[in-house]
A and B are shown apart, each in its own frame.
Chain A
Amino acid sequence: MRTEKIQTLEENLNSIFQPSAFIFRTLTSSLRLQDLNDMEFLDDFHNKKVLITYKTTSFLILALIKTIGVAKEVCMLRDNSKNFHYKNVFEFDISLSESSQIGTGEKKSSRRSKALRTNILIYTSGTTGDPKLVCRSFDSLTNSVKKQLKNEEIIWGLCYDPEKFAGLQVLLQALLSGSTICGIDDYSKPVFSELVEVFNSFNCSAISATPSFWRILFGFKNLSLLNLKFITMGGEIVSQDILDKALQVFPNARITHIYASTEAGVGFSVRDCKEGFPIEYINSLTLTAKLKIIDNELHIKSNRIGSYVNSNKRIINGDGYISTGDMVKYTDDKSRVLFEGRKNKSMNIGGNKVMPEEIERVVEAGHYIKICKAYSIPHPLLGNIVALDFVKDINCPLSAVELKKNITLDCRDKLERYKVPVKINEVKAIKLSGSGKVER
């Protein structure tokens, strides 16, 4: 009594994805189109809730391609992720892991009409309290994906786990446009030098990462050997100095700043290589997302907004917009809107609200600073004081004392007095979260 059109795996792959011959490559392994046709899971995922637990990125991608368009819901968990304890909280029909029995083509699971779309459950980065699980429809995740032009071969460099929104966007972009992705099999402890080696080995031409991630990548001299055509930045404030750096290292690349979140999806993008976004974006009728600013906080309305699964909190306000938590201000000439920082991450210094990002922007624009992190520490005599950790450039000829003096003078020159870091420490590395953001 089946009325749906039954499609073969190949037809389904072609109707949803256009995988390239090499789907995912690492230095030691590769996932090929051929593997997809050869490898079958014994379970039938049709209309089921599937939990994919995985150790390697390759397996995750294979399992995603096999379940998207077939399963009702898919959730991904790296088996050493900090979210792993949520594994038993939700009821899934099928738990799919790398130990699941995999046959070789004997039992072809029937893929049915692509009309059955799959919802994908994604954990937010959890920087604001417990990680929340957001349910996003496949369509809402992919309607910003650009189908690439013919004869334009793009090799994507994957910087994050595809279970994170930022990584998934890159994965879906590549799968839907027939591009190869290169990366590593374990993003829980990324080794940057290995990533850069992978990108070089496979002539990677497009990379999407947070500004903090880029700051670290730019520290590798061999990165500039790449012929990058597409550079994307997002997830954190994209400041002018990092845009300038990208332009300087890759003058031929198209540099895009994407404003997106796990909850709201892709909001808008900026391509003019200037920090912030043009004021015309506010109340614009041509953008897919609508923007407005209430009490200096950016609010966004789009048809790509998801819903929380493990929280009663509503994503959408009564007016149909979501409060992004991103604080903004206008430039003096009112031509652009600049990001200031996260609403709940401001520091209280002597009764003043201070955004750590504002201090970091000043310090990172100075010479020989690779990346830094501002934070506050309580002091019994001084109240809360601003502390700053920084990593210097490899080429830096200055001593730590000279660098600290430069930082202090720069900050005194450009910031209000109470924002000047009092305790400045040189450190070897600044820890980034799994989605490439400075941990706060």
Chain B
Amino acid sequence: MQLALDATMTNVQGAVRTGSELDDIDALVRTYRPRLLRFVTFSIGDQDLAESITQDCFLKAYNGRGNFRGDCSVSTWLTSIALNLIRDQQRLQKFRFWRQARATAIDITDAASFLPSNESSPEAKILVREKAQQVQAALENLSTNQRTVFMMRFLEDMELSEIAAATKMPLNTVKTHLHRALKSVRAQVGTNL
């Protein structure tokens, strides 16, 4: 009983903390926009559209912050909202969505130039850039579901159960998509040993 009470208190404290975090939209945007923008951009492959969806996502989250129960992280909650907005966009644009977006896809070479200049050698940076390009190319060949769960797992660090909840897919389906996505990415990147 005491344990249950403690857990409830923890959840309440978490909800209060995250609730106040959601009240400050400037701080919310500053903290979560980079990751959210990355998720949306590499989910749809269109930078301009991604920025628009990301902005809509923050407004929707801010508007519906009263519905946030604190049973997951704010990041996971935002990612779930973003996923719904992406799906809305997919429904709107249907077949044009991904294929047309690829024409305005971001250039990972350009992205690689933003690598932080820490102590890694130029050779290591080139290797990182090449591998990142290969993964990006591999992602484009995945199905929408495979790409979504892959990015949720490996970019957003979401637990499998959180991915299942966000995508409204059974846990085993999430695992299946993840395994297929991973197998496909590893085959194209060349790390199947």
Judge: A and B partners, yes or no: no
